[in-house]
Chains A and B, each alone.
Chain A
């Protein structure tokens, strides 16, 4: 009787977790492993991969495994530079998002419930509209014919500075990145700030803390978990983004994402593209790991 029940439970467990597990092993784990393998293969003459079974007139060694793709990466500083630049853009985007999102998140968290829900919805709405459209909107705003461009250039002209193009510049890329990722920062921050006990701030005030001290010594340290999760949610996707530089950046503004995209859909150098993807994965994992560690030690200290 009890044994039958156990079996039934085991069966239920298998039936519920089995299908998603199987699906993800086939369509997520296997592709990732294939990517690792591909990064150690030789590229084919006409793109893709060289065949595993060599034609008889070729040396066998040429078709085995190799670390060429990784060596190629380090052979030219330009690739390292693109990685560093992507990190810089991701860092800048995260910082700007944090500065823009924080006051908004504080305000939302302190509003009455009704208003609060509306304000959150107003943050989510633009984020729900198509991602390309949101980038494209900035193409209009920053374009050479736009009112903003005219305004900026008239202003610069008044100071005798030559006109600038706003679109297709690092500035445009940064604006686009911030615009697309801002909600990812607002939401975790708000969720964290909402949980703070307002009486802590009252207590600080009673003890003579001014507004700045109240923020810096009460609100900010308590909000660190939200800051870290928001930062990770912005930093990581920006690191792999290729559409924003593609549409708003000039030809010189290539990031890791663009480089990877070109290896698969342009030059068709699969091993190099895979190697770049693996390195991006490692970068993401270390960022995620560091954030978790940082968040734990920063918030752990407060608890003591």
Chain B
């Protein structure tokens, strides 16, 4: 096997260019002193200033933040439970229910929850329906991460805890939870990012009330394209970048601690 095959390298460089050039353009144009996304005129921070004076946009950002916090909290709780249950017990129904929303096209989930809320609950669509819809599809992502962590662990740790007289709750609180914590946090971060970025499901479950960030961005793109879109895009990219790096750190820390951590906790 040869390392540094020039064909592979050039193909890879092209793909990376394809992935990154669009995003770099967006970032660059957010500093462009022109109404048009065409020619570089000069450097300005005007679009950021315009963004911070846009009250509708700020409200939308606040709402999206609230939704993402609530959805990621409930999804982490339910997703961790699902991950544990699927790993430990032979369940038939739960895995199907947990993983299907992840695998199917988002539009189907959005539409069915829209119908459900309007017909059965006779409920006005709004923040609550968005939070519930986001929770439904985030549970699966958390469960996948938590289960993967559990699969890599030595079962005898839990048996040891039980042999030493720990109740199931004690075993969970003192042994299992500390061990799966990195996965739980990574799942929470993932749910948060998924929720704050989600457009399709939000689009169907939002109702007519409060402004929500992805919807505001969509309207801006469809109706009036100003470089303000570039500015908010750049800020959002920065936010996700930070979250991803934290999640990646946690995950790599978790895997490198694998050998030492169990011994410490089960003394």
| A interface, CB within 8 angstroms of B | 8-9, 12-13, 16-17, 19-21, 23-25, 27-32, 34-35, 38, 48-49, 100-101, 103-104, 106-108, 110, 117, 119, 121-126, 128-141, 143, 145-146, 179, 182, 198, 201-202, 236-237, 239-243, 246-247, 257, 260-261, 264-265, 270, 273-274, 277, 280-281, 284, 288
Contacts and interface: CB of A to CB of B under 8 A. Distances in A.
B50 interface: no
Given A130-B240, A145-B38, A38 B23 contact: no
Contacts of A13: 85, 88-89
Given A257-B107, A261-B107, A130 B214 contact: yes
B126 to A, nearest CB: 15
Interface string B170-214: 000000000000000000000001000111100110000000001
Contacts of A277: 107-108, 111-112
A247 B218 CA distance: 9
8 contacts: A24-B97, A124-B244, A129-B240, A129-B241, A140-B37, A239-B105, A241-B105, A247-B222
A107 B112 CA distance: 42
B115 A140 contact: no
Interface residues of B, number: 86
A48 B118 CA distance: 9
B45 interface: no
Contacts of A261: 107, 203-204
B244 A125 contact: yes
A123 to B, nearest CB: 7
B119 A24 contact: no
A126 B16 CA distance: 10
Contacts of B22: 134, 137-138, 140-141, 179
Interface in B115-140: 115-116, 118-120, 132-133, 135-136, 139
Dominant SS at the B interface? helix
B204 A17 contact: no
Contacts of A274: 111, 115
A130 B217 contact: yes
B237 interface: yes
A124 B16 CA distance: 11
B164 interface: no
B224 interface: no
B78 A23 contact: yes
Given A145-B36, A280-B107, 15 more contacts: A19-B81, A27-B113, A27-B136, A28-B97, A31-B115, A122-B19, A134-B22, A137-B22, A145-B37, A179-B18, A182-B19, A198-B1, A240-B106, A243-B218, A277-B108
Q: Which of B16, B25, B29, B105 has the most CB of A within 10 A?
A: B105
Contacts, number: 239
B221 interface: yes
Given A104-B12, A125-B244, A145-B37, A140 B104 contact: no
B264 interface: no
Given A19-B78, A136-B229, A270-B115, A107 B9 contact: yes
B69 to A, nearest CB: 18
B84 A16 contact: yes
Nearest to A100: B15
Contacts of A103: 7-8, 11-12, 15
A16 B108 CA distance: 28
B221 A21 contact: no
A119 B9 CA distance: 12
Nearest to B11: A103
B112 A125 contact: no
Contacts of A32: 112
